[in-house]
Amino acid sequence: MVACNICGTQRAADAQTASVRCNVRRFSSEHFDVWRCSSCQSIHATDEVDLEHYYSGYPVHAATLDWRLNVVYGSMLRRLEAAGLDRSRRILDYGCGSGVLVQYLKAQGYDVVGYDRFSEGFDDPALLEASYGCIVCQDVIEHVDDPLALLSQFGTLIDAGGIISIGTPDAAVLSLDDPEDYVHSLHAPYHRHILSVDALKEAGLHCGWKLERHYPTMYNNTLFPTMNPRFALFYVRALDDVYDLVTEPPRVDSWVLWTPRSLFFAVLGYFFDRHTDIQMVFRAPAS
C-alpha cells in the first residue's frame, strides 16, 4: 500500500486523483498522475521520474536579476525583516536556482549563500555542513522526495533563535477536479509532494519551531502594476500557458494583453489573488 509521507495515512482505494500536464514548454505534451491524501489534504505525485532529465534546461535556472525580481524580492525581504532578520544573520537560500535571490540579498548588504543540487555553481554540499541564522526555502519543499526530512535537516542547520522561511503552494486550495486550472501550482512532475497549509504548520511545530509569520499569499503579490500572481496567470494564459514565460523577457504580442480585463489585473490583481501559495516563517528555539 502507498501512504502519505506527510501524515502517514494509507492511500484509499477511492483517493482523489488527476492527470496533470507538464507546464514547462519542453515537456508540455507529457502528463503525470497525482493523488490527494484524504486526511491531511496534501497532494502527491504518483509517477517515478528521472528528475535529472526534467531539470535539464529548467526555466528558473536561466533567470536573471531584473527590475521585476527586484520588486518582488523587496517584498520577500520586508517579510523576513518583519520576522526578525537582520544583517548579523548569515542566510542560506536553499534551492536557489540561478542564484538571483542570493544576488539581490547581497546587494542589500546581507551575508548570503545559495545551494541547489540541480544548479551548476550552487551545488556544493559543503554548504550543508555549516550553520545559518536564516534559511530561505522558497518553492522547494514541494520538489523533494521527503519534505519532512528536509525540515529536519533545516533543524540541524539553523542557529539557535534563527528563522526558517518556507514558501510553497497550498494543496488544500488546489482542486484536482479541474487540474488545468491549477496546472502551474501543481507543476508536474517537479512538484513531488505539496503540503496543505495545516500540514506545513503542524510539521514546523513538530520540529519545535514557533510560527512567527503566516502569509496566505505569495511574496510576489505586490501593489506594483503587473507584479502580482493574478496578472501573471492571465499573462501566461494569453500566450502559450507555460511556466517558461515567467523567466523570459515580457511579451506584448497578444491582443488579449491589451484588453480591459488585462489592465484590470495588472493594476488591481493584488486584491484578487487566488491564495494558491503561502509563506510561513518559523523561529527555532533560542537554546
43-53 pLDDT, tens digit each: 999 999 999 99
Domain 54-283 homologous superfamily, CATH? Vaccinia Virus protein VP39 (3.40.50.150)
53-74 pLDDT, tens digit each: 999 888 888 888 999 999 999 9
What residue has cell string 545559495?
A: 114
Global pTM value: 0.94
Q: Residue 254 belongs to what H/E stretch?
A: none
Report residue 206 CA to chain centroid gap: 21
149-179 pLDDT, tens digit each: 999 999 999 999 999 999 999 999 999 999 9
Q: Compute the mean pLDDT over every residue in the chain, rounded to the nearest whole number.
A: 95
Long-range contacts formed by 54-59: CB under 8 A, 24+ apart = 54/22, 54/24, 54/27, 54/189, 54/190, 55/118, 55/190, 57/26, 58/24, 58/97, 58/118, 58/190, 59/24, 59/243, 59/244, 59/246, 59/247, 59/248
89-107 pLDDT, tens digit each: 999 999 999 999 999 999 9
